[in-house]
Amino acid sequence: MNTATFDLNALLRDNIKKLVPYSSARDEFKGEASILLDANENAFGSPLATNYNRYPDPLQWKLKNKIAEIKQVASQHIFLGNGSDEAIDILYRAFCQPGIDNAIIVPPTYGMYEVSAHINDVALTKVNLTPDYQLDTEGILAAANAQSKLLFICSPNNPTGNAVKQADVITLLDRFPGLVIVDEAYIDFADTPSFISQLNQYPNLVVMQTFSKAWGLAALRLGMAFASEDIIQVFNKIKPPYNINQATQEIVLQALDNKEQVDSWVKQTVEEREKLATALMSLDFVSQVYPSDANFILVKMDGARKVYETLVNKGIILRDRSKVVLCDACLRITVGTPEENEVLLKQLEGIGL
């Protein structure tokens, strides 16, 4: 693709081009107001200590402005969704005509790309990663056609844990005919820089991140997408009017004041990851511990299913990935606290295979 002549309008579905978005009460005026009689809310308050009787800011500007400072990107380049899954779903609905267009994924990878494709009746083309879990760039480009609207790349990748080569992603940004989505849910645990810094160079780039991992806010379900202002406007056109509730906005605003604590947790997680990887490799039934740039480790072992079930009975839950392509006999282990990791290793040492 010649990014200098990138035409977003040509990728959009016709019905989205014509769509007149819902205009909420809070979209129709700017600034502050002392009396709000526009949205049929309960003017007397709510039965909670905090009043949640008013609808939240539909575009979450206070929160976006604070995220923009941390990510060093303009607020207009940020979309906030109900988890990254909302952004994934919107991408399919905006750019893929059901029964006509297709998307490309690179297994093994995050499962929601495929689930969302099926929900939206969009055909998927799968181009497996190479045996060392890197992108098969030529295979991807050979598989792409004029109907290939989306390419999903998870980096660091789930479930393998490794970051993909940035040069390969750049090649695909230059040559893939549609949007390239780089899912950076685990980027905080990696040494590689975020692709957010590439947004100005690549109008066909979408970067996704999340508050569910390093920030420890999985229960709040808040995901981020970063893209050109034109793409963000498409997201905002399609999303529900008030997709991020007021409580979530307030809590995340408070959390953003504690970046030093998050950075400390990330540092400790990476240290524990390396300790855990070394200890796992010393087990007789473990044949390979794959390098990780995330907060989890993919481990190949004898009797993977038996190990998984034995640990379940001990109240320790891992993720069995042994049936996933290129992950034969593998379990995915999230890095826990030092105490949790110690208990895990003690139980693993007691398993007889």
User: Model confidence over 9-38: pLDDT tens digits?
Assistant: 999 999 999 999 998 887 877 778 889 888
Q: How many CB atoms lie within 10 A of CB 341?
A: 19
CATH class for the domain made up of 3-258: alpha beta
pTM (two decimals) = 0.96
| Cα gap 153→143, rounded to integer Å | 15
pLDDT above 90 as % of the chain:
92
Domain residue ranges in the chain: 3-258, 260-349
Q: Report pLDDT for 24.
A: 85
Cα→Cα distances 216→125, 134, 243, 290, Å: 33, 28, 20, 24
As assigned by CATH, the class of the 260-349 domain is alpha beta
N-terminal to C-terminal alpha carbon distance within the chain: 52
Which of helix, strand or coil describes residue 27?
helix
At residue 152, φ and ψ (nearest 5 deg) are: -100, 125
What is the DSSP secondary structure assignment for residue 46, as one 8-state letter? Answer: -
Helices 61-71 and 246-255 pack at an angle, to 10 degrees, of 30
pLDDT in tens, 137-177: 999 999 999 999 999 999 999 999 999 999 999 999 999 99
For residue 70, is pLDDT > 90?
Answer: yes
Coil, strand, or helix at residue 286? Answer: strand
Q: Is 38 helix (H, G, I), strand (E, B) or coil?
A: coil
Nearest by Cα to 144 from 103, 92, 116: 103
DSSP string for 204-243: TEEEEEESSSTT--GGG-EEEEE--HHHHHHHHHHS-TT-
- 1 pLDDT above the threshold of 70: no
Mean pLDDT of 207-226: 98
pLDDT of 4 reads 62
The chain-wide mean pLDDT, for the chain, equals 96
Structure tokens at 296: 């989890």
Of 182 and 23, the one with more pLDDT? 182
Residue 121 is given by DSSP the state T
